[in-house]
Structure 1
């Protein structure tokens, strides 16, 4: 059996790894392949999940084994076995055998039915209970919807402890920042990265509050189908031109979310770690809220972009008695502006600013897939400091050559996508129509990586 088959391949039946017989190939994750297996002697009986490393000697498997062996909880998969498989070439691949978890990834499960705030509270409480069982022993460090499986009955299980941390665990990387998924990183981790970037001698120490913040991001994404906007610290000078909202828009401003769930999500997203509460406290409050007789909890959560409060709604205009007087004045002003525009003709653009003739993308462009774990924040590469929370507009066509100021090939394939000689970032969270000033290509949305001009660091005497 090949340790790294293609995504469409399956392992031959009756191949054995340790005491386990491989039944079929199931899926491929970031660093492991998953198979359905059964014990050769039937003890323990039934179907189990075997995860084998893609790379020989992957240290994440030892981490996952160490933490899972200490946790016994219905919302965490049970560990049955661990070992090392040697392929025909003499390479050693660690593997884990765990409880088989039937279910659907959280973000795919939610749209299958009319999710209510009561159902969301019950599900999030289960993930909080899984974290409650984890935190006395360590930190998960990769809480997100892709790592939560939900059964048809609504039972949630938190998976993938390979990036976890526990006292005495050796670092997985040689960087100061632990592996993780960018939108779920806590404010305190982002502040640490801004101030101590590139100092592996003093790495960031993950804590339970990081998992709680990630749970809040997961909950926000679950009920609004979008991530909360990035909130870098004001001391971060990486991108001073970017807007920094004081707080994320409440989920209830995007969707019909019950007030109690709304408040709990914002609490988990607090900038102050201690204000988020512990996993046990949050689970108890969620369970109590889900058990209440509040009718609003049974209202289906529906998205309503028109529900977002505008600046005028937050700051009402003049009194009603002034409205009849303002209307004729506004009409006269509008007619005057139209007359001026009719007489004015804009000067022609310089040739260098004329749009390039549209051509179909060349086959030399290649799709690099999703951005890998542990990448640094790329939001500063958005053209013009566009915030992802802005309204959608007509997306731009992909140019057939690199733009002025754009990073050119070769591109780092782990983070960027090379298209028509330029480096781009693809977002998996938005599909066409893309956001304003983003580019559409082959059914996905991209933004260019622009090279910043270095500012002088000293002056001549």
Structure 2
């Protein structure tokens, strides 16, 4: 049936949120600029379930977006400010209002240097690493879903309408999850080709897909001086890799171009092993950058005048986009191969054509109003309350308590383990219950770890290495570890290392992983323990590799959610997390 769009007029009030104007609308929601207590916010209001044409999933999509955002609290991720129901029964989600440009607009308006672009992507990779550690995948990273805040230049990831998280129910009715064609990893299309006759086959979105999308965004900013313009562009996810960035834009240093090519590799195993590894590579590259990184990514003669999307193209710019720049002969050969071998070679707009799924374009400055095609596992939202709400109101919502610095504060009330266990996921998160990182479950090792340990590192399952568990603390003293936190271990210079370790894990080797805690109530007969899983390693002078190394040590003390243990112990190479 034809869906009618629920709209709130200017001046309407929804549970204390005063509607100023509409900012944008999409297939499943409308986004408004609203004001409450003198401050601006963005209010994302779902269509009415019966009017949306999707009465089974519309509400569940909004619930899932709210759930994903409740798991996250990071300065470079859009922040949740409450949820509730409009008078007509439509669920709404209140978000912080970000006055900023999309990445494409920022590139075109501000003409950033290579150094400034890399700074932004280091922060984006850090935000994604934080997000992935909590089991959340965005699944629709693109230029319009990152805003650069005007006041301080901070990048903010927005629009979690396509996001998913651990244990969320998959209701996707297509082979691929929701997303945007331009920024899909090539293995997604390979999956469709391999399973074209299997109607129930569903692609499992992975961190490697997120890494590819981030690389595609970086490639766009480095190679395209007109990122907001609508014109034909070479495919980034075809069978053949796109031309190297330095072939398209001579201002791009070759080593930076090589890093982007690695992130966009056709083979997922050749990309950084996760977003934390990607962050470190970008950061290390930034630290090594020279004078050539202080120039704008494109020459002034190539830049368009600063303008808003939708303005008429400046004189001299053809309707199909900018005139082609001169490229090296191998770039031309690559382009010819792309035309010959790619079924979908061109795209029309930067990040706004999700096919075959519905469009997920974002209006500038707020989280866009589109919804995903999945919903979480069934759950019940906790009762929404607002201290300033009038009695008898038909709308209920929650607004986190905010500190003087503007960050949500946790309630001082302690919640018991039994109460946490009885709560729904959203309620447990809201109540500040401990995360699942405290107790590690048995999982397989990272992709490629077994091959890397055997073929590249020449490690044997069961052998042991001595190391300092966390490089932030004294190796000879006991240390407090926070379960769920990242740790970086290293092999110190010491005469006690045996010959085997000196050969395959010498001093200077660094291990990257997470800390966990196991109590005697979790099946340990010899008392509580600190457990650290290292899933990546970097030997001196070599690239990072995925591994499986476990350290387990007696917990000296457990207090206020932290565990104290020795900081110099022995790690064991394993084939599966214990």
- Place the TM-score, normalised by the shorter chain, in its bin: 0.5 to 0.7
**Matching residue within 234, 244, 257 for 1:250:** 244
Deviation at 1:216, TM superposition (A): 0.8
State the partner residue of 2:256.
261
**Structure 1: gaps (5+ residues):** 233-243, 315-378, 390-413, 417-461
Give secondary structure in 1 for the equivalent of 2:94. strand
CA distance in 2, matches of 1:383, 1:54: 42
1:71 is aligned to 2:84: no
Aligned counterparts of 1:131 and 1:182: Cα–Cα separation in 2: 20
Contact 1:117/1:261 (<8 A) preserved: no
Question: In the TM superposition, what is the alpha-carbon distance from 1:253 to its structure 2 partner?
Answer: 1.0
Picking from 17, 20, 23, the partner of 2:17 is 20
* Aligned residues of 1:148 and 1:156 also touching (Cα < 8 A): yes
Deviation at 1:230, TM superposition (A): 4.8
Taking structure 1 as reference, are residues 308 and 383 closer, same or farther at Cα in structure 2, changes over 3 Å only?
closer
User: Residue 308 of structure 1: which of 304, 327, 330 is its match?
Assistant: 327
Q: Under a length normalisation based on structure 2, what TM-score does the superposition of the two structures give?
A: 0.48
CA–CA distance in 1 between the matches of 2:90 and 2:275?
A: 34
Q: Summarize the alignment of residues 166-181 of structure 1 with structure 2, pairs less than 5 Å apart.
A: 166-181=165-180
2:146 to 125, 145, 148: 148
Please give the residue correspondences for 1:2-21 in structure 2 after superposition, counting only pairs within 5 Å: 4-5=6-7, 11-13=9-11, 15-21=12-18
Does the 8 A contact of 1:63 with 1:163 survive in 2?
Answer: no
SS at match of 1:135: helix
SS in 2 for 1:286: helix
> Which residue does the alignment assign to 2:508?
none
Q: Provide the rounded CA distance (Å) in 2 between the counterparts of 1:415 and 1:285.
A: 34
Q: SS at the partner of 1:174?
A: coil
Report how far residue 415 of structure 1 moved: 7.0
SS at structure 1 position matched to 2:167: coil
Task: Report the equivalent of 2:129.
Answer: 132
Q: What's the counterpart of residue 268 of structure 2?
A: 273
Structure 2 match to 1:298: 294
State whether residues 265 and 271 of structure 2, in contact with CA within 8 Å, keep that contact through their aligned partners in structure 1. Answer: yes
Supply the distance in 1 between the matched residues of 2:277 and 2:331 (Cα, whole angstroms).
38
Partner of 2:455: none
1:74 shift after superposition: 0.3
The alpha carbon displacement at 1:112 in A equals 0.8
Question: Secondary structure of the residue that 1:26 maps to in structure 2?
Answer: strand
Structure with higher strand content: 2
Determine whether 1:289 maps to 2:295.
Answer: no
TM-score (norm 1): 0.59
Within-5 A mapping of 1:377-416:
387-388=345-346
Q: CA shift at 1:260, angstroms? A: 3.9
Structure 1 residues 229 and 287: alpha-carbon distance in aligned structure 2, compared to 1, 3 A threshold: same
Q: Measured at CA, do residues 224 and 55 of structure 1 come closer, stay the same or move farther in structure 2, by a change above 3 Å?
A: farther
Distance 1:293 1:171 in 2: 43
Aligned length: 301
Report the CA distance between 1:248 and its aligned residue: 1.7
- Within a 5 Å distance, the mapping from 1:62-461 to structure 2 comes to 62-87=63-88, 92-136=89-133, 137-152=135-150, 153-197=152-196, 199-225=198-224, 229-232=235-238, 244-245=239-240, 247-255=241-249, 256-277=251-272, 278-292=274-288, 294-302=290-298, 305-311=324-330, 387-388=345-346
Mapped partners of 1:229, 1:20: distance in 2? 43
Distance 1:28 1:249, change over 3 A: same
- Pair 1:175–1:114, CA change in 2 (3 A): closer
SS at match of 1:47: strand
Which secondary structure does the structure 1 equivalent of 2:205 belong to? coil
- The answer as to whether partners of 1:176 and 1:198 remain within 8 angstroms in 2 is no
Tell me how far 1:47 sits from its aligned partner.
Answer: 1.4
Q: 2:28 matched to which residue of 1?
A: 31
- Corresponding position of 2:42: 49
- Tell me, yes or no, if the aligned pair for 2:120 and 2:154 is still in contact at 8 Å: yes
Gaps of 5+ in 2: 50-57, 228-232, 303-323, 348-354, 358-578
| Counterpart-to-counterpart distance in 1, 2:341 and 2:281 | 42
CA–CA distance in structure 2, aligned partners of residues 415 and 176 of structure 1: 10
The CA deviation at 1:94 is 1.8
Aligned to 1:238: none
SS of corresponding position for 1:86:
coil
Cα distance in 2 for partners of 1:287, 1:132 equals 14
Using the TM superposition, name which of 304-313 and 254-263 deviates more. 304-313
Tell me how far 1:228 sits from its aligned partner: 5.1
Aligned partners of 1:3 and 1:53 also within 8 Å:
no
TM-aligned CA deviation for residue 293 of structure 1: 5.2
Secondary structure in structure 2 of the residue aligned to 1:218: helix
- Residues 229 and 248 in structure 1, CA contact (< 8 A), matched pair in contact too: yes
Cα deviation, residue 19, structure 1: 3.6
What secondary structure does 2:242 align onto?
coil
Q: Secondary structure at the match of 1:173?
A: coil
For 2:190 and 2:217, the matched residues in 1 are separated by 21
CA RMSD of aligned residues (A): 3.1
